[in-house]
Structure 1
Amino acid sequence: MIQAVRACKTAAEERAVVRKECAAIRAAISANDQYYRHRNLAKLMFIHMLGYPTHFGQMECLKLIASNGFPEKRIGYLGLMLLLDERHEVLMLVTNSLKQDLYHSNQYIVGLALCALGNISSEEMARDLAPEVEKLLLFRDPNIRKKENLNICDN
């Protein structure tokens, strides 16, 4: 897809390529294609960076965040931070997944959740997740403590 967009000589050609890819992504979303879900979200993030609307992929971020694997969660959290901001109502659905990931045994998943919380948290989300963040301050892993301290300084 990136090669096709770069090969476009006019804005109309680029719009046609993006329109075709968006249609394919919508079809994959409606078919509930789980195997390529992370790849489709990565394409949506690229389309978003080009300036095209990608609101139809917001729920895919939530589905990837709720998955078990680290690669899926990584793309899901990245999409969440890029495609959404604190004004979106979809973020209220993320709070439970964030809470679960803050207690995860994998330090990298905890780090993903902390970064996402620091970047997109609303006032309500910060209030709901404050006890979990306070518990992580006592965590012994230096990577978690570093992310925690950086997020506290940002907010």
Structure 2
Amino acid sequence: MMMNPIPVRYEDGRALTLAGFAERFSMADLSGLPRLWQRFGPHIGHVPGAHGHDSYGVCYNPDGQGGFDYLAGVEVAATAGLPAGFTHLTLSPQHYAVFEHHGSLQGIKATFDGIFQQWLPASGERSANAAVFERYPAGFDPADPQAVMEIWIPLERR
């Protein structure tokens, strides 16, 4: 379990247009997330208009009951020409607290719990009504105990 998470930085993020595969999930059952990434993985490096080398996991459209949409995707310069079955969304510029998760993704729920149950209540910050996203560097291996990825938490401006 991640104890006392501390953001590695605060950042004013730019608008991002992302494209990939999206599905609806519930916090009660996240077992489909790895399958979504397995479906999307072969497309990484082959998405028309892809920009950059990072991959993104975006949690958006929360329903207040634990349900949310999740997009596994990459940044794109334009959405024209995307293959059938792809979803795209644009994240507006936002102020973020950026955290790092170290290790395999088996422990990512503990990292998220630490952020939302420990850091956020103690920080004096307020989560903004905007998408939370994960940023994975090129070549990220979800099973690697040495892997590092980022979690971007949107914050209300003070």
- TM bin (shorter chain): under 0.3
Q: Which has the higher contact order (CA 8 A, sep 6+)?
A: 2
Structure 2 length normalisation: TM-score? 0.26
Larger radius of gyration: 1
Higher strand proportion: 2
Structure 1 length normalisation: TM-score? 0.26
Higher helix proportion: 1
